[in-house]
Structure 1
């Protein structure tokens, strides 16, 4: 009977539909039902139609039980949000402590995506100076992040 209900309805919740259809028979009693199996199949089909309409109306999707765990909320967990905010605060504080020239060079490279040579030409310094300043900024920012993790 289960296989027939599943084939008839094409739904993964055929067990629930069959159980509800059988419950209808028990509530009503078998008196007046000439073909019990046909009644169960027709009731299961009608229940499937009702469920489909309800899902469409409410915007719900009925998933097989083995796929229910695959849907995850795209939002980060609250502890990840708190951790991210703490990391951002540490980076902001460390960045504020950089020398203005170092901060400017770092931003030119990371935000404006300028190559070292272009930055060196604009600031009239050597490429080596740019490399050292970016390295210094990365060291300060990385240390700020790592110190926060150790705490």
Structure 2
């Protein structure tokens, strides 16, 4: 019995060497995620080892690997989808513990929105693409037909304007609280 297990482990090592990159590349091509590809390889070979040691191989090893890979990849993608949507459905943390703080938070948000709206049109567009649409400088530059350096300058000037006005606003709030 132990010699069979030893043979199985050597055979398994050979299978792993032959197939691990193929399984990885297949999963990566389908998901574009190195994490999912690595996880798929691990699970496929764990399952294959279980099938070999339980003598549960009904078809060729190649067919078994392909079938297991597809099944496990689908399972992992479903898990990731569920995990992502579970996180999105969690209640969002409240930034303000009471109604007065919530009101101050809303006022602050309104102040920031007004400051952004007062920026020159191109600077406002660049800033919104960066902060609200999460585009990088190259993507913004391509979309607006400007250089990435120009995008960087617009972001820096927008932040400088907002910080300056915002710090004045915060100083005023601080001052008013202690009157």
TM-score normalised according to structure 2 size:
0.40
More helix by share: 2
Larger Rg: 1
TM-score normalised according to structure 1 size:
0.47
Higher relative contact order (CA 8 A, sep 6+): 1
